[in-house]
Structure 1
Amino acid sequence: MVKSLPARSEVKIEETWNLQDLFKSEADYEAAIVELENEVDTFAEQFKGRITDPTSVIEALKGYTSIFEKMIPIGTYTSLASSVDQTNDEAQMRDNKFGSTAAKISSKLSFVNSELSELPAEVLEEAQQQSAEFKNYLDEIIRKKPFQLHPEVEKTLAAFSSTFDAPYGLYNTTKMVDMSFDDFEVNGEKYPLSYVSFEGGWESEVDTDKRRAAFDAFSAKLKDYQHTTAKTYDTHLQTEKTMSDVRGYDTVFDYLLFDQEVDRTMYDRQIDLITKELAPHMRKYAKLLQKVHGLDKMTFADLKIPLDPTYEPEITVEESRKYIDDALAIMGDDYLDMVDRSYKERWIDFAQNKGKSTGAFCSSPYGNHPYILISWTGSMEDVFVLAHELGHAGHFYNAHKEQNLFNSRPSLYFIEAPSTMNEMLMANHLLKNSNDPQFKRWVISSIVARTYYHNFVTHLLEAAYQRKVYERIDAGGSVNAGILNNLKRGVLEEFWGEDVDINEGAELTWMRQPHYYMGLYPYTYSAGLTISTQVSKRILEEGQPAVDEWLEVLKAGGTKNPAELSKMAGVDITTEQPLRDTIAYIGEMIDQLVELTEEIESVKN
Structure 2
Amino acid sequence: MNHVPKRSETAAEHRWTLEDLFTSQAAWDKEYAQAKEQIKSVAVFQGKLADPEQLKACFELEDDLSLHVERLYVYANMKHHEDTAEPTYQALSDKSKKLSVETSEALSFITPEVLSLTDKELDALVSNPALAKYRHTLEEMRRQKAHILSKGEEALLAQVGNVSQAPGTIFSMLNNADLKFPKVKNEDGEEVELTHGRYIQFLESKNRDVRSAGFKAMYETYGKLKNTLASTLNANITKNIFYSRARKYPSTLEMSLYGDNIPKEVYTNLIDTIHKHLPLMHRYMELRKKLLKVDELHMYDLFAPLVDEFKMDISFEQAKATVKESLKPLGEDYLKVLQDGFDNGWIDTYENEGKRSGAYSWGAYGTHPYVLLNHKDNLNSMFTLTHEMGHALHSYYSDGNQDYRDAQYTIFLAEVASTLNEALLMDYMLNKSTNPKEKMYLLTYYADQFRTTVFRQTMFAEFEKITHERTEAGESLTPQELSQIYYDLNMKYYGPGMVIDKDIEMEWARIPHFYTSFYVYKYATGFSAATSFSKQILEEGAPAVERYLGFLKSGGSDYSINILKKAGVDMSTPEPIEQAMSVFEELIEQMEQLTK
| TM-score class normalised by the smaller sequence | 0.7 to 0.9
Distance 1:559 1:526, change over 3 A: same
Distance 1:353 1:250, change over 3 A: farther
For residue 264 of structure 1, what is the aligned residue in structure 2? 264
For residue 142 of structure 1, what is the aligned residue in structure 2? 142
Q: Is the 8 A contact 1:360 1:374 kept in 2?
A: yes
Distance 1:402 1:346, change over 3 A: closer
Distance 1:513 1:582, change over 3 A: same
Which of 48, 51, 54 matches 1:53?
51
For residue 602 of structure 1, what is the aligned residue in structure 2? none
Residue correspondences, number? 588
C-alpha displacement at 1:281, in angstroms?
0.8
Q: Work out the CA distance in 1 between the residues paired with 2:475 and 2:87.
A: 37
Q: Is the 8 A contact 1:108 1:155 kept in 2?
A: no
Q: Work out the CA distance in 2 between the residues paired with 1:415 and 1:590.
A: 28
State the one-letter code of the partner of 1:124: L
Q: Is the 8 A contact 2:537 2:545 kept in 1?
A: yes
5+ unaligned residues in a row in structure 1: which ranges? 1-5, 599-605
State the one-letter code of the partner of 1:409: Q
C-alpha displacement at 1:376, in angstroms?
5.9
5+ unaligned residues in a row in structure 2: which ranges? none
Which of these two proteins has the greater Rg computed from alpha carbons? Answer: 2
Q: Work out the CA distance in 1 between the residues paired with 2:501 and 2:89.
A: 39
For residue 498 of structure 2, what is the aligned residue in structure 1? 500
For residue 312 of structure 2, what is the aligned residue in structure 1? 313
Range with bigger deviation, 289-298 or 23-32: 23-32
Q: Work out the CA distance in 2 between the residues paired with 1:145 and 1:432.
A: 52
Q: Is the 8 A contact 2:464 2:517 kept in 1?
A: no
Q: Is the 8 A contact 1:271 1:464 kept in 2?
A: yes
State the one-letter code of the partner of 1:588: E
For residue 449 of structure 1, what is the aligned residue in structure 2? 448
Counterparts of 1:202-601 in structure 2, within 5 Å, are: 202-219=202-219, 236-274=236-274, 276-317=275-316, 319-332=318-331, 335-336=334-335, 337-338=337-338, 341=341, 345=345, 347=347, 351=351, 362-363=361-362, 365-367=364-366, 370=369, 379-450=378-449, 452-475=450-473, 484-503=482-501, 505-510=503-508, 513-598=511-596
Q: Secondary structure at the match of 1:147?
A: coil
C-alpha displacement at 1:285, in angstroms?
0.9
Q: Secondary structure at the match of 2:185?
A: strand
C-alpha displacement at 1:97, in angstroms?
9.4
Q: Work out the CA distance in 2 between the residues paired with 1:49 and 1:259.
A: 26
CA offsets per residue over residues 78-120 of structure 1, 9 Å max, x none? Answer: 8879999999999999989987876665454332112222332
Distance 1:7 1:436, change over 3 A: closer
Q: Is the 8 A contact 1:106 1:159 kept in 2?
A: no
The percent of aligned pairs where both chains have the same amino acid is: 25
Q: Is the 8 A contact 1:8 1:354 kept in 2?
A: no
Q: Secondary structure at the match of 1:309?
A: coil
Distance 1:446 1:86, change over 3 A: same
Distance 1:392 1:247, change over 3 A: same
Distance 1:344 1:224, change over 3 A: farther
Q: Work out the CA distance in 1 between the residues paired with 2:4 and 2:173.
A: 17
Range with bigger deviation, 527-536 or 168-177: 168-177
Q: Work out the CA distance in 2 between the residues paired with 1:214 and 1:115.
A: 55
Distance 1:362 1:467, change over 3 A: farther
CA offsets per residue over residues 112-142 of structure 1, 9 Å max, x none? Answer: 1122223323322233x22432121111012
State the one-letter code of the partner of 1:142: R
C-alpha displacement at 1:175, in angstroms?
5.6
Range with bigger deviation, 96-105 or 116-125: 96-105
Q: Work out the CA distance in 2 between the residues paired with 1:95 and 1:232.
A: 34
C-alpha displacement at 1:519, in angstroms?
4.3
Q: Is the 8 A contact 1:114 1:150 kept in 2?
A: no
Q: Could you state the TM-score of these two structures normalised by the residue count of structure 2?
A: 0.81
Distance 1:301 1:583, change over 3 A: same
For residue 126 of structure 1, what is the aligned residue in structure 2? 127
Q: Is the 8 A contact 2:324 2:338 kept in 1?
A: no
C-alpha displacement at 1:49, in angstroms?
0.3
Q: Work out the CA distance in 2 between the residues paired with 1:29 and 1:70.
A: 10
Q: Is the 8 A contact 1:50 1:56 kept in 2?
A: yes
Which of 53, 57, 61 matches 1:63?
61
Q: Work out the CA distance in 2 between the residues paired with 1:467 and 1:354.
A: 42
Q: Is the 8 A contact 1:107 1:158 kept in 2?
A: no
Q: Work out the CA distance in 2 between the residues paired with 1:55 and 1:577.
A: 45
Q: Is the 8 A contact 1:434 1:440 kept in 2?
A: yes
CA offsets per residue over residues 232-273 of structure 1, 9 Å max, x none? Answer: 655554444333222221211121111222211221111122
Distance 1:442 1:343, change over 3 A: farther
Q: Secondary structure at the match of 2:312?
A: coil
The CA RMSD over aligned residues, in Å, is 4.5
Distance 1:445 1:515, change over 3 A: same
Q: Could you state the TM-score of these two structures normalised by the residue count of structure 1?
A: 0.80
C-alpha displacement at 1:482, in angstroms?
5.9
C-alpha displacement at 1:553, in angstroms?
0.9
Distance 1:141 1:419, change over 3 A: same
For residue 601 of structure 1, what is the aligned residue in structure 2? none
C-alpha displacement at 1:50, in angstroms?
0.6
Q: Work out the CA distance in 2 between the residues paired with 1:445 and 1:569.
A: 30
1:110 paired to 2:108: yes
Q: Is the 8 A contact 2:359 2:371 kept in 1?
A: yes
C-alpha displacement at 1:154, in angstroms?
4.8
